């Protein structure tokens, strides 16, 4: 069996153990890249200051995000970007050597590993905090598989039986919010048991996955960034069903009988169509995920693959001050309510856009998007 899943992979591993047994194909998403950039920015800013940290961030949407991070509201002291390892056999933890960004080469086969964005102390309790830059709801902090493992490792490392763990949600407009949970000695023991049980589950999943049994795979939202996405037998089975043409035949049959169908038959058709919509969307996501890593040549000469796609990002603070000075506060409230857009500024005239650009309030660039195009 390969190395145990990391803390960030645990939410998926608990839901679909087969995903850890199947072959992995590594890829990164735009959201993941921005999150990594923000994490590094916070770490550098703590050591060398905000200006130095910002100078190391490329001029794209992540730069505007980093400028808005409320550094003065984040915890001080403690350790930032601390790589932790917890051994399920000895129930002990250690801090891993800082080799590189989230590099776990020093981990042993019996250790769960993960990187805590912040680890500090609050009296007798250890405090673990993770920065989050996405908008996805993560559920209660106390139930987070990722956070639970990091809290256990930090508590064992510090030799305490109490811990607080939480998420700090950072937003593009500079706002933020916290989600906290407390853990006592019983909670920590429960987490340790869960992780030990997972080891056995993963070993059983290895046998099932070797037979490429689709029933061994459990699909859900955790599939989106799964490293086993392209080797998942459930995904391949679904794609073959669509590709066989059987779905098209059934849809054509439904279309031909609509005029003479009874209400009951139409109701059944609606249910069937909803199922096909769901299947088609899942297949579409699977194909696009594959194309993001390796372009797919289409019969008519087009290609489905990642291409640079231009974007424009307006810095809200710069845009607001510019519009307020040129057109008054009322206009600024309308044009820049929360997040400025190029369209809203253009309505105020090219001079306004030009002035915002002069003040470095407009960021342009490109980032990969999976689209059908002609090479």
Every domain of the chain and the residues it spans: 7-210, 220-294, 305-373
Can you give the pLDDT at residue 1? 46
CATH tag for 7-210 (out of 3.40.50, 3.90.320, 3.30.1180, 2.40.50): 3.90.320
Can you give the pLDDT at residue 319? 83
Q: Is 86 left (phi over 0), alpha (psi -120 to 50) or beta?
A: beta
Instruction: Decide if 183 contacts 164 (C-beta within 8 A).
Output: yes
Can you give the pLDDT at residue 270? 82
Can you give the pLDDT at residue 209? 54
Gap between the Cα atoms of 16 and 273, Å rounded: 28
Gap between the Cα atoms of 73 and 77, Å rounded: 13
Q: Give the H or E element holding residue 290.
A: helix 263-293
Can you give the pLDDT at residue 326? 92
Tokens of residue 3, six digits:
């190395």
Gap between the Cα atoms of 191 and 186, Å rounded: 9
Gap between the Cα atoms of 301 and 372, Å rounded: 10
- Tell me the whole-structure pTM to 2 decimals: 0.63
Tokens of residue 309, six digits:
């796609």
Can you give the pLDDT at residue 155? 97
Q: What is the mean pLDDT of each run of 10 residues along the chain (375 residues)?
A: 84 88 65 73 83 80 75 79 94 82 80 93 92 76 95 97 91 78 96 95 74 67 73 67 66 82 86 72 76 86 84 74 88 70 83 86 66 65
Can you give the pLDDT at residue 243? 62
Can you give the pLDDT at residue 76? 74
CA 372 to chain centre: 24
């Amino acid at each position: 069996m390969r190395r145990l899943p990391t803390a960030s992979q645990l939410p998926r591993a608990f839901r679909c153990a087969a995903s850890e047994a199947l072959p992995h194909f590594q890829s990164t998403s735009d959201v993941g890249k921005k999150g990594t950039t923000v994490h590094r920015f916070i770490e550098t800013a703590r050591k060398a200051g905000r200006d130095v940290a910002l100078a190391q961030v490329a001029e794209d949407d992540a730069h505007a995000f980093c400028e808005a991070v409320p550094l003065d509201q984040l915890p001080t002291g403690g350790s930032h970007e601390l790589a932790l390892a917890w051994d399920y056999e000895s129930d002990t933890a250690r801090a891993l050597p800082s080799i590189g960004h989230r590099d776990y080469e020093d981990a042993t086969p019996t250790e769960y590993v993960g990187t805590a964005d912040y680890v500090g102390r609050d009296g007798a309790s250890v405090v673990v905090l993770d920065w989050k830059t996405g908008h996805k709801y993560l559920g209660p902090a106390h139930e987070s598989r990722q956070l639970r493992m990091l809290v256990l490792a930090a508590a064992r490392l510090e030799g305490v039986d109490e811990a607080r763990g939480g998420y700090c949600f950072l937003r593009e407009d500079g706002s933020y919010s916290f989600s906290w949970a407390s853990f006592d000695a019983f909670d920590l023991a429960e987490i340790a048991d869960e992780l030990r049980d997972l080891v056995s589950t993963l070993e059983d999943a290895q046998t099932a996955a070797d037979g490429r049994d689709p029933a061994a795979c459990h699909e859900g939202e955790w599939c989106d960034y799964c490293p086993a996405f392209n080797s998942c037998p459930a995904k391949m089975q679904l794609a073959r069903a669509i590709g066989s043409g059987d779905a098209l035949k059934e849809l054509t049959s439904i279309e031909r009988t609509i005029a003479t169908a009874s209400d009951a038959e139409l109701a059944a058709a609606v249910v069937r169509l909803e199922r096909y919509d769901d299947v088609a969307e899942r297949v579409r996501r699977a194909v696009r995920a594959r194309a993001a890593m390796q372009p797919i040549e289409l019969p008519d000469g087009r290609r489905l693959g990642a291409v640079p796609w231009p974007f424009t990002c307006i810095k809200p603070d710069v845009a607001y001050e510019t519009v307020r000075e040129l057109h008054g506060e009322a206009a600024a409230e309308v044009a820049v309510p929360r997040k400025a857009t190029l369209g809203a500024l253009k309505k105020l005239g090219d001079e306004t856009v030009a002035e915002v650009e002069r003040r470095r309030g407009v960021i342009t660039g490109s980032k990969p998007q999976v689209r059908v195009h002609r090479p």
